[in-house]
Chains A and B, each alone.
Chain A
Amino acid sequence: MFSLPILSQVLVNGLSLSAIYILVALGFTLLFGIMRVVNFAHGAFAMLGGYALFYLYGVYKLPYPIAAIGGAVLVAALALVLERLVFRWFYHKMFQSMIALLGLNMALVYAAVLIWDVNERSLPPVAESMLDLGSMMIPMDRLIIVGIAVLVLALFWFFVTYTRQGLAMRAAAQDVEIAATQGINTRRIYMLAFFIAIFMTALAGGLYAQTYALSPFMGDRPLMVAFIVVILGGMGSVSGAALGGLLLGFSESFLSTFYGASVSSFVSFGVVVALLVFRPWGLLGKPE
């Protein structure tokens, strides 16, 4: 049961799942941590990312890295229109944002049904080949997914830690009004943070659609994942999202390989409920 080929498979699956989960959850936690918005439309943006990748890579045959990044940029740019029309009303209004963004989710999902019908589609794989490491066979496309995700996460970390804009973003997350009095254009910082959050979500949606399937309703699962990861790590905590994503990705890969998908869901939900009861602020969050 625990032979090397299977374990390596579990490891690679876990790594690629974690990469996707971290990207999804990071977008969610950014929107929550900075704008105090519970983004129930998160899954819809992931779904749009899936369709963007479908067109750019599957239909227009652009080279893969350009299609993946470009698709996510496209979705994020379109989302800026929604930021102006919808999100801006609900910054710092947690409860109303939940309901309104639920509405946005409905509108986006059913608009997608209207445009692309409900049937599932599949995206062409990036690479068919396998990387042969003696007794281990590692599918290349999983490695490419991990590579893209790691690259984006590293860039994000660099941006937040070392650039002036990143510093301004952290300041705005701590206290908007004080940040504004220090000469930070908070409205622009919010737009920037929103763009980054949706960019990561759409990218994750594309990768997710490629691993599983693409349909207007595919967003439910990423939304659920974002919830769980963010609770695990702590609402609004960036490092928490990374830790939570790794934990969920690896445990899901391990448990669903050896014990089946339903056991894996039960365990992850149960653990998160227990965590919420005893440590509601998450593993790396701060108690309020």
Chain B
Amino acid sequence: MSALETRINAKAPEARVPDVRSRRAVRNRWFAILALVFAVAWPLMAANNFYMTLGTMIVLSMIGTVSLNLIIRTGHVSLAHGAFMGVAAYACVLLQTALHWPFLPALLAGCVASGLLALVLGPIVLRLTGKYFVLVTFLLGEILRLIFVEWEPVTGGSNGIQNIPLGLPFFSSPTAFYYFCLAAALLAIGIAWRLLLSETGRAIDAVREADSIAECSGVPVIRLKVMVFVIACALVGLQGGLQAQLVHAIDPTAFNMDVSLAMVVMNVLGGMYYLVGPLLGTVFMVALPELLRGYVELQQIIFGIILIVVMAVLPGGMIDLAALLRRVLFKSHARSQA
């Protein structure tokens, strides 16, 4: 959907000339509308509560992957994103339970909390690049998780916090909650989309491709990276607060390294240089395991193998599958013509 426009606008402004590209953009817009209609109509198609909850989980996970995608676009792969989500979730839930704040201000405050933490840590860690950034965020995530586990009087330790009060009265209806989550996800996707399409988006691309050249051209590299980092960490807070509402409980395992890694995997698997990539990856990664619940071990094994194969054959992610197919089909078509 939007991603292709992003690419066209970011990399080839002359593409406004009516040619193949704009036709593709039109087609992508149709895909986007189709996907949106599908998402809105999902409660009608979902036969039971299981599919309803599955839809909610997918939509919520999209917030995390899309916001992580913003960080990845600056050339940094963060392994602390799940932990930042945890910071927001704990802040939101604690404000609700301990200080009896209403849900919406608490959710907002949770996002602000994770954003503020990102603002404090960002200027320090974003000076590192490549593998060093991966490693430092890996450790940051572990430190945050340890704090969740060890700060027992506040966070409830390994047991976490149970019996979280219902945020808004209509959350008791799965359908209404789904639509609320969908709205939050669309907000996150919209923010990411607008950001990547804007002048800032172009600066982000420049920083990723060559940060010193970008700096020479007047892009405030560190400030830009910190800004994107803060926005992304605040956005993932939405997922944290809403996820706590979905399961009515939070504990440190919901924000551990596996969660952060899964977010990265969804991005890479889907294709991390397009906005559709993470969305595609999320649907695939969240839906498939839930639908194959019966065979947990076997399913994990197959999943691992899929990851290996995709990385070996499609290093650009599943989004490349379409291009690959087109190439294969085109080739066979050309051959049949010859």
**Which residues on A are within 8 Å of B, measured CB to CB?**
38, 86, 89-90, 93-100, 102-111, 113-114, 224, 227-228, 231, 235, 262, 265-266, 269-270, 272-273, 276-277, 280
Contacts and interface: CB of A to CB of B under 8 A. Distances in A.
Nearest to B130: A94
A89 B312 contact: yes
A106 B124 contact: no
Contact of A107 (B134, B138, B143, B304): B304
A276 B132 contact: yes
B300 A110 contact: yes
Contact of B312 (A90, A98, A110, A277): A90
A113 B304 contact: no
Given A96-B315, A227-B138, A273-B139, 12 more contacts: A89-B308, A89-B311, A102-B307, A103-B306, A104-B304, A106-B301, A109-B300, A228-B139, A231-B139, A276-B135, A276-B136, A276-B139
B146 A107 contact: no
A97 B134 CA distance: 14
Contacts, number: 106
Interface hub of B146, B149, B307, B308 (most chain A Cβ within 10 A): B308
A228 B135 CA distance: 9
Main secondary structure of the interface of B (DSSP, over half): helix
B140 interface: yes
Given A96-B315, A102-B261, A280-B128, A269 B146 contact: yes
Contacts of A98: 134
Given A103-B306, A114-B297, A269-B139, A280 B261 contact: no
B150 A262 contact: yes
B58 interface: no
A86 B146 CA distance: 34
Interface stretch (B209-217, B225-233, B264-272): B264-272
Interface string B263-305: 0110011000000000000000000000000001110110111
The main secondary structure of chain A at its interface with chain B is: helix
Given A265-B146, A276-B136, A235 B127 contact: no
B311 A96 contact: yes
A95 B304 contact: no
B125 A277 contact: yes
Contacts of B142: 224, 265, 269
Given A231-B135, A280-B128, A107 B150 contact: no
Given A86-B308, A266-B146, A270-B143, A277 B297 contact: no
A88 to B, nearest CB: 9
A65 to B, nearest CB: 34
B311 A114 contact: no
Contacts of A276: 128, 132, 135-136, 139
A107 B308 CA distance: 10
B301 A277 contact: no
Contacts of A97: 311
B131 A103 contact: no
B66 interface: no
Which of B124, B135, B140, B298 has the most C-beta atoms of chain A within 10 angstroms of its own C-beta? B135
Contacts of A262: 146, 149-150
A111 B298 CA distance: 8
Interface of B: 77, 124-125, 127-128, 131-132, 134-136, 138-140, 142-143, 146, 149-150, 261, 264-265, 268-269, 296-298, 300-301, 303-308, 311-312, 315
Contacts of A114: 297-298, 301
Contacts of B136: 273, 276-277, 280
B269 A99 contact: yes
In the A-B complex, the 3 residue pairs with the closest CB atoms: A103-B307, A107-B304, A106-B304
Nearest to B121: A273
Contact of B143 (A90, A99, A266): A266
Contacts of B132: 276, 280
A89 to B, nearest CB: 4
A97 B311 CA distance: 8
Nearest to B262: A102
Contacts of B269: 99
Nearest to A103: B307
A155 B264 CA distance: 39
A116 to B, nearest CB: 11
A90 B311 contact: yes
Contact of A103 (B125, B149, B304): B304
Contacts of A265: 142, 146
Contacts of B312: 86, 89-90, 96, 100
A86 B306 CA distance: 12
Contacts of A109: 300
B178 to A, nearest CB: 29
Which one of B77, B136, B303 has the greatest number of beta carbons of chain A within 10 Å? B136
A102 B269 CA distance: 12
Nearest to A89: B312
A106 B300 contact: yes
A99 B264 contact: yes
A249 B284 CA distance: 41
